[in-house]
Structure formats: structure tokens, C-alpha cells
């Protein structure tokens, strides 16, 4: 095992362990904090896999923005101090599907890549990735910017408080 293998194994263990805590913990806020650990470990794996730009984008967008948004939503909906008992549904189908997907995919990938060894390629710096994005992938990039704008407008429209109120008078008018 090389140094990269050891690093990947350690970071992967951290990521899977934190992910397990995210889906099993009974504290809402702690689930978000475990998610930070999990996403940070995945960002470390990206760094070991020479994907520099993706790692920093992961830290910026996921750990910086998405988790903060999720924690905001936890606080805005219901933020009990301590454990809550009503977070889970009875879990046999979930165990079957989740365990089946995880272990089945693991078996498949282990079977395919068990003895494979590769040399790490040149690092995916911002310069190289930028060349690719703005040469080969310009059209998806632009479509994605339109999608982001649409999602932004949609979120603003959905979050307006008048939507729930408007239902009242309309319903009275129909009767």
C-alpha cells in the first residue's frame, strides 16, 4: 500500500462512519454537523485523487453553503434540544434497499477493480478544468446557469408567505 492508499482508506473510513451517524443519529442538529465531517472527508479524498478544484468547490459549496442552508432549515422548522424519538420510520425496507444497494455495488466494484492499480494523473487544477469547461463543455455550463436562475426564482416564489393565505378566500369563493 502506498501513502495515497493509506490516506484514502483513512478518509473513506471517516466518511462512511460520519455518513452512518448522519442517517442514524437522533439529534437533528448533530446530523447536520456529522454531514460536515462526512463531506469534509470526501473533499480530502478528492484532494488525494488529484482533483484540486473539485475539492475546494466541495468545501465552498457543500460545507459552506448547503450544510448551512440545511441547518437553517432545521432551526426554522423544529429545533428540539436533545434527542427526538419520532425521526424514524420502521426500517426493514430501508435496511433491505440501502444495504442491498451499498453491499451489492461494493461487491460489483470490488470484483471489477480488485487488482487494478493506476498511476495518479496530472492534477485537475483550476487552469486545466477551466480549459475543459470553457471549451468542450460550454453548452452544458450555460444551460446549468439558466437552471440555477430558474431554481433561484422558484425558491423565492415558493418561499413567499402569501401562498398559504391565498387558499382561504379562494376556498370560500368556491362554496
Residues 98-117, interacting with another protein (CB under 8 A): 98-103, 105-106, 108-110, 113-114, 116-117
Q: Is 30 in the site for another protein (CB under 8 A)?
A: no
* Longest alpha-carbon distance in the chain: 74
Q: How many CB atoms lie within 10 A of CB 148?
A: 10
Binding mask 116-135 for another protein (x = CB under 8 A): xxxxxx--x---xx--xx--
Contact indicator for 8, 48 with CB cutoff of 8 Å: yes
Interatomic CA distance for residues 61 and 40, integer angstroms: 11
Q: In this complex, which beta carbon is closest to another protein, that of residue 15 or of residue 82?
A: 15
Total number of residues that touch another protein (CB under 8 A) = 100
Q: Is 155 in the site for another protein (CB under 8 A)?
A: yes
Q: Is 22 in the site for another protein (CB under 8 A)?
A: yes
Q: Is 138 in the site for another protein (CB under 8 A)?
A: no
Set of cell numbers at residue 94: 430501508
Q: In this complex, which beta carbon is closest to another protein, that of residue 81 or of residue 162?
A: 162
Among 81, 136, 138, 142, binds another protein (CB under 8 A): 136
Among 81, 82, 95, 139, binds another protein (CB under 8 A): 95
Q: Is 83 in the site for another protein (CB under 8 A)?
A: no
Q: Would you give the end-to-end CA distance of the chain in angstroms?
A: 74
Among 5, 83, 138, 142, binds another protein (CB under 8 A): 5
Interatomic CA distance for residues 120 and 127, integer angstroms: 18
The burial of 154, by beta-carbon neighbours within 10 Å (0-12 exposed, 13-18 middle, 19 or more buried), is given as exposed
Q: Supply the minimum distance, in Å, between the C-beta of residue 81 and another protein.
A: 16
- CA angle, 56 as apex, 55 and 61 as ends, to 5°? 105
Q: Is 46 in the site for another protein (CB under 8 A)?
A: yes
Contact indicator for 18, 35 with CB cutoff of 8 Å: yes
Q: Is 59 in the site for another protein (CB under 8 A)?
A: no
Amino acid at each position: 500500500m502506498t501513502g495515497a492508499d493509506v490516506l484514502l482508506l483513512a478518509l473513506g473510513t471517516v466518511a462512511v462512519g460520519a455518513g452512518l451517524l448522519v442517517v442514524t443519529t437522533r439529534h437533528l442538529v448533530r446530523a447536520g454537523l456529522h454531514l460536515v465531517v462526512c463531506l469534509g472527508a470526501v473533499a480530502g479524498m478528492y484532494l488525494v485523487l488529484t482533483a484540486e478544484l473539485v475539492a475546494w468547490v466541495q468545501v465552498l459549496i457543500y460545507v459552506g453553503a448547503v450544510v448551512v442552508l440545511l441547518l437553517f432549515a432545521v432551526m426554522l422548522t423544529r429545533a428540539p434540544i436533545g434527542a427526538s424519538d419520532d425521526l424514524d420510520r420502521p426500517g426493514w425496507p430501508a435496511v433491505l434497499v440501502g444495504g442491498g444497494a451499498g453491499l451489492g455495488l461494493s461487491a460489483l466494484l470490488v470484483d471489477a477493480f480488485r487488482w487494478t492499480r493506476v498511476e495518479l494523473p496530472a492534477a485537475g487544477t483550476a487552469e486545466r478544468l477551466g480549459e475543459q469547461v470553457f471549451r468542450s463543455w460550454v453548452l452544458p455550463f450555460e444551460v446549468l446557469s439558466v437552471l440555477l436562475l430558474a431554481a433561484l426564482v422558484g425558491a423565492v416564489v415558493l418561499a413567499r408567505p402569501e401562498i398559504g393565505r391565498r387558499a382561504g378566500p379562494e376556498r370560500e369563493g368556491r362554496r
